[in-house]
Structure 1
Amino acid sequence: MFIRFVGLVDQLNSYRKSKISNRNFLVVAAVLVGVFAGLAASLLKTITHHIESFLQTDLNWQYKYYLYLLFPMIGIFLSVLYVRRFIRKGKFETGLTPLLYTISKKSSHVETHNIYSQIITSALTVGFGGSTGLEAPIVTSGSSIGSTVGRFLGLSQREITLLLACGAAGGIAGAFNSPIAGIVFAIEILLPEFTIPAFIPLLLASATAAVVARFFYNEQLFFLATEGWVTSSLGYYILLAAVIGLFSIYFTKVNYAIKNYFYQINHPYKKVILGGLMLGVLVFLFPTLYGEGYITIKNLLKGDHTAVITNSIFSSYSTFPALIIVFTLVTVFAKSIATLVTLGAGGNGGIFAPSLIIGGLLGFTVAFTINTLGIAQVNTANFIVAGMAASLGSIMHAPLTGIFLIAEITGGYVLMVPLMITTAIAYLINRSVNKYSIYTKPLADKGELSHHEDKDTTVLNMMKLKYLIEKDDLILNENDVIKNRLTDILQSKRNIFPIVNELGLFKGLLYVEEILKKSISLNNDSEFTVKELMKDAPIVVNINAELKDVLQKMEAENVWILPVLDQENRFKGFISKTAIFNKYRAMLVRQAQYMD
């Protein structure tokens, strides 16, 4: 049955290749991906909010509020349990870093289980109060949809990458009802190179996902009432940008510290217990940390300046402006820790939503402080919106995504200039310290990052060493007598030969020049073995090595060809600069012809 199905798919692919151009077919495929991504986004948000509603409203028990200390740990535990019990064949990873690695090094092959596993685990984590966001999981889920559709249709790696980006754009568009931000996110974060022909599939996938999601989940995220901005407030927007830029640097450093702390804990359930208890205490003290935290920002935008402190144990002090400011600042730092603890303990989510919450709270703090001290009277809602854009743009190193996302979800296009100023400054401050974002730094440290600023590395990362190995070699044994192998040596096209021992292990290299020198200096009837003339290889290459590293080694040793060995030190063939450069040129030609 399966064989017949595969045969039918092959026939359909052959038919469409003869009847439909790649450009037009990718448009159709992008719309299909957009439909599924929109469904996935609406499903994730619906499940999550149903869990939240049940725990907070429908669950009637006189002691249920004591369970708020345990709810986050229960959610993380269920998420970890699901992964360990039901995802055995594949690998489950969270965040956008693994997705970027997949694009760079795994031919954009996102495992299919991510379509549903990301939804299940993130809904459990956030629904039970995990202080993180749903956007990274829906991006991974949408990307898996695009990757799976591309592989199913037998598309090339480049085309699969485009559909992967379409799925990610659709996920963002469906989750936020923000199709423009979805497109910008895919271009700014995921696609190492952007070409104009790729814009149309991204546009259609993002728009389709937004339309589909609205059918099933039509709830506006934020409502912004503003009369615009005034030039007299520009200085305060710059101050806000500086504050957020500095905080984003702090957030990045804390991110690595907490990750390393939890990484040292080997037992997964020890992480769950420790992280869950820490998170429970934080949520108890700062209720804003429960789940995504968007409700607090909504209330602040409506003018409820006590929204952060109202439901906390300090609510009786909500009449003191100074306490509101201090409590909000402490909540900002607590939010960053709670988010990273949630992820470190095994929960699934991302820093997308937490970045917005942190930026919104900092924007509120700056504006409320200015108004309280009587320095000036600024629009608090405007600063909340500008803070969200600046925080997202600086932490993720995605300023355009921050600007367009916030403009779309708040309807704040009239604030475009303050959004641009605050986001740009905050991003530049972070970039002055961190060359790479939270997502890309782990890959950059390992040399695994594809980026439009380094096209050579991008192309080399798309090439695999094992497919470029030249295997038409004459392999000599170290005990061979040269005289007996002379005919084979003379008929060979190479002037260098690999030497192995009786067990097939690599020992060294033999150069034709050495044979000629020895033959001239000795009587023709003299017999000498390969071992006598063998030379140590200047350097060897492991079969799993990166091509960029191989080229660097070749340049350092001033050689044109190197032997390739496997993990057991067995000779697998030669890798040459010629083979690398030929493949490199072929990749460039393919990219130039892409979607023609």
Structure 2
Amino acid sequence: MPSTPTGAGAGSIAFRWCIKTFTRLLSGHDDYAASPGADNPHVPWLGPYFVLLAPVIGGLLYGPLVNRFAKEARGHGVPEVMLAVAQRGGRIRPKVAVVKTLASALCIGSGGSVGREGPIVQIGSALGSTLGRATKVTEGRMKLLVACGAAGGIAATFNAPLAGVFFAMELILGTFSAEAFGALVLASVTASIIGRAAFGDNAFLNLPGFHVDHLAQYGLFAALGVVAAVAGVGFSRFLYLIEDACDWLWRGPEWLRPAVGGLALGVLLLALPEMYGVGYPVLQKATESGYAVGFLLLLLVGKMLATSLTIGIGGSGGVFAPSLFIGAMLGSAYGIGVHHLMPHSAGAVGAYALVGMGAVFAGAARAPITAVVILFELTGEYSIILPLMLAIVLATATSRLITRDTIYTLKLRRRGIDLEGPAPGARIGTQQVGAVMEALPSSLPASATLADAADLLSLSGHGTLPVVDGAGDYAGVVTAQAVAEALAEQPEDAPTRVGQLAEPPASVTAEQPLAQALHALLSAAGTGLPVLDSEHGKPVGWLSHQSALRAVHKAP
């Protein structure tokens, strides 16, 4: 296990070194966004027009590299890791780590307006998968190693050990367990130590202390959370709209697409050079109220277009940093606006920029814990934590109301992949629940005593039975474990009737694909679940582990 975070930490160092090296070679600056519009000292006779050529040169280098050696290195990387964990047993080809490092560094260094979190997640995960294959671990351990690689990469790159842990749990594994948490913490801490040794222990942004002085500010932050959710979802939709447009327009070989598309990106960079690369200096200036509202909104739209175009033409890079950038522009513009309307109670503009960053990411990715923790760690700013949490939770809820997909899962769903569904070729999952369910066992009346319930449960062969109320309506299920625990209790107010223990399990319907129902079945407390009629919500059958396995024999 220690080899994975060590590799992820070393990989993050190599990746950041590559980004800086290619940026210097192709722009003549450590970070061109810090001095937008400046000449390239390597070719001063071109003036600022060198940005027309930089993306083309970068595309000519990373386009053939990705197309020849690892096509999955194209794009923002996180969806591919999520797919590998959900449906491919955590298997990622070793060459992905090398190809992704070079391709993303070349893309960012040549002006691609993308982030480095997606690449480092894919790089770290590929290293974890490679270690798992070398040591021949079980599939469960392989997935955990992949998540550890992702956590280590995030922790080392952003100096954010806690964020690395929660990013891996929320987005990569999608579950929480004490074992996984312990392994991810170990990986994240180890990688962070390596990263701090190389980059120092410095906060991502240097911000003054923010304080909420008026209760009215909480309402303003809450409204910002809702607006940011719309911006986050809009960014997701716009990203794939531009990608579809690029797919429709391009008719040549894929290896040449980044270079030809780089011409369009170069024109955009010439008009708005602040879009060059990741853009952290521009983000920092926005949090310091360095731009007027009109220019902030221009930068917001420009970032959406630049990032979407970079990925649409076949570039390689993440969408986390662009979502932070968009959030900072939106939050700053919002903060300036409310400051003019409520000059005595609105508070600092920078606070709205910080909250906007977390809320837009939460709206796009729907990872609220990660959003809260990573903003805290990237800024070292705890004083704004309550408004940040409020806005992020509201942004997540609003995003869920607007769309079922996140910026990561939408990429997969567009390719016909459902992370909750069966993997291609799987023998279980394509059938409907109604085709494999068993007959419904006898129900327990809610008025039955626990002693009677214990007798019926012991004779039924099921660890769970449905419960009906006095009117004969379905009230939930009761498990043998719940009855046994209740019978062992001594207090006078301990449950005495089955109805007091009945709880509705996760809903499973007869028309539902078996793959989706399996998630509910595996997390159920008993040995089976009632299958409900989708129209009336009444039990019509029973799904057990055995009935699910019988689907294997029915599968073609």
Name the structure 2 match of 1:465.
427
Q: Does 1:305 align with 2:290?
A: yes
The CA RMSD measured in Å over matched residues stands at 2.7
Residue pair 2:257, 2:313 contacting (<8 A) in 1 also = yes
- 1:72 is matched with which residue: 22, 44, 55? 55
The answer as to 2:196 corresponding to 1:225 is no
Of 369-378 and 380-389, the range deviating more from structure 2: 369-378
What is the one-letter code of the residue matched to 1:334? G
C-alpha deviation, 1:371, in angstroms = 2.5
Deviates more, 1:176-185 or 1:284-293: 284-293
Aligned to 1:141: 123
Secondary structure at 2:212's aligned position in 1? coil
State which of 378, 392, 398 in structure 2 corresponds to 1:409. 378
How far does the alpha carbon of each residue in 1:378-433 deviate from its partner, in whole angstroms, 9 at most, with x for none?
21111111111111111011111111101001011221111111111122222111
Instruction: Measure how far apart 1:70 and its partner are.
Output: 2.2
CA offset digits 1:71-129 (Å, max 9, x no partner): 123223321122235x17x7544322222221122211011011111110000000111
1:305 to 1:262, Cα distance in 2 relative to 1, 3 A:
same
Counterpart residue number, 1:45: 16
Moved more, 268-277 or 280-289: 268-277
1:262 equivalent to 2:234? Answer no
Match in the other structure for 2:353: 384
1:426 matched residue in structure 2: 395
Alignment partner for residue 274 of structure 2, among 285, 288, 293? 288
CA deviation after TM superposition for structure 1 residue 339, in Å: 0.3
CA distance in 1, matches of 2:175, 2:85: 12
Give the alignment partner of residue 185 of structure 1, picking from 158, 167, 171.
Answer: 167
Q: 1:272 to 1:406 in 2, by over 3 A?
A: same
Is this contact kept in 2: 1:46–1:217, CA < 8 A?
no
Letter matched to residue 258 of structure 1: I
Which amino acid is 1:290 matched to? Y
Partner of 1:504: none
Residue 300 of structure 1, CA deviation: 3.0
Matches within 5 A, 1:543-562: 548=515
Deviation at 1:373, TM superposition (A): 4.9
Q: Which segment drifts farther, 370-379 or 229-238? A: 370-379
In 2 relative to 1, CA 158–391 (structure 1 residues): closer, same or farther, beyond 3 Å? same
Contact 2:231/2:363, CA 8 A, preserved across alignment: no
Contact 2:52 2:263 in 1 (8 A): yes
Note if contact 1:150-1:160 (Cα within 8 Å) is conserved in structure 2.
yes
Matched residue SS, 1:465: coil
Which residue, out of 327, 330, 353, partners 1:359?
Answer: 327
- TM-score, scaled to structure 1: 0.67
Counterparts of 2:151 and 2:285 in 1: how far apart (Å)?
28
Question: Is the 1:104–1:462 contact (alpha carbons within 8 Å) kept by the matching residues of 2?
Answer: no
Are the counterparts in 1 of residues 59 and 262 from structure 2 also a CA contact under 8 Å?
A: yes
Deviations 1:567-588 (A, max 9, x none): xxxxxxxxxx96951799xxxx
Partner of 1:214: 196
Match of 1:349 in 2: 317
Contact 1:143 1:168 in 2 (8 A): yes
Q: How big is the shift at 1:442?
A: 4.3
Q: Secondary structure at the match of 2:119?
A: helix
**Does structure 2 conserve the Cα–Cα contact (< 8 Å) formed by 1:275 and 1:345?**
yes
Equivalent residue, structure 2, for 1:326: 294
Q: Is the alpha carbon distance of 1:68 and 1:266 closer, same or farther for their aligned partners in structure 2, counting shifts above 3 Å? A: same
Deviations 1:177-232 (A, max 9, x none): 00000000001001033211111110010111111011222254211211422333
1:236 corresponds to: 220
Q: 1:159 to 1:258 in 2, by over 3 A?
A: same
Aligned: 1:195 with 2:166: no
Offset, 1:56: 3.3
CA distance in 2, matches of 1:549, 1:199: 25
Deviations 1:223-272 (A, max 9, x none): 12114223331122122212211212221221221121122324225633
Please tell me whether residue 248 in structure 1 is matched to residue 244 in structure 2: no
Instruction: Assess if the C-alpha contact under 8 Å between 1:105 and 1:448 holds in 2.
Output: no
SS at match of 2:44: coil
**1:358, CA displacement in angstroms?**
0.3
Counterpart contact for 1:465–1:547, Cα < 8 Å: no
Q: Is the 8 A contact 1:142 1:168 kept in 2?
A: yes
Instruction: State the partner residue of 1:83.
Output: 66
8 Å Cα contact 2:78/2:408 also seen in 1: yes
Does structure 1 residue 369 correspond to structure 2 residue 337? yes
In 1, the alpha carbon distance for the partners of 2:44 and 2:263 equals: 21
Is the Cα–Cα contact under 8 Å of residues 262 and 271 in structure 1 kept in the other structure? Answer: no
Q: Identity of paired residues, percent?
A: 29
Unmatched 5+ stretches in structure 2: 30-40, 429-512, 519-544
- Contact (CA 8 Å) 1:226, 1:381: kept in 2 or not? no
Equivalent residue for 2:138?
Answer: 156
- TM-superposed CA distance for 1:333, in Å, is 1.1
The answer to whether the Cα contact below 8 Å between 1:76 and 1:130 also exists between their aligned partners in 2 is no
The match for 2:470 is none
| TM-score after normalising by structure 2 | 0.71
Assess, with a 3 A threshold, how the Cα gap between structure 1 residues 548 and 50 changes in structure 2: closer, same or farther. same
CA distance in 1, matches of 2:109, 2:259: 18
Letter in 1 for 2:310: T
After the TM superposition, which residues 488-499 of structure 1 pair with which residues of structure 2 at under 5 Å, given as runs?
none
Distance 1:44 1:583 in 2: 46
28, 44, 68: which one aligns with 1:56: 28
User: Paired residue for 1:309?
Assistant: none
SS of alignment partner, residue 407 of structure 1: helix
Cα distance in 1 for partners of 2:546, 2:358 equals 48
Residues 415 and 549 from structure 1, CA distance in 2 versus in 1: closer, same or farther, beyond 3 angstroms? closer
Q: Is 1:76–1:345's contact at 8 Å kept on the other side of the alignment?
A: no
1:339-363 superposed Cα distances (whole Å, 9 cap, x missing partner): 0110111110011110000001111
Question: Residues 140 and 269 of structure 1: is their aligned pair in 2 closer, same or farther, counting only changes over 3 Å?
Answer: closer
Instruction: Kindly state the Cα deviation for residue 275 of structure 1 after the two structures are TM-superposed.
Output: 2.7
> Which residue identity does 2:264 align to in structure 1?
M
Please give the per-residue CA displacement for 1:417-456, whole angstroms capped at 9, x wherever unaligned.
11111111122222111112121134456774445xxxxx
1:506 aligned residue: none
Give secondary structure in 1 for the equivalent of 2:163.
helix
Mapped partners of 2:356, 2:73: distance in 1: 33
Tell me the distance in 1 between the aligned counterparts of 2:275 and 2:156. 24
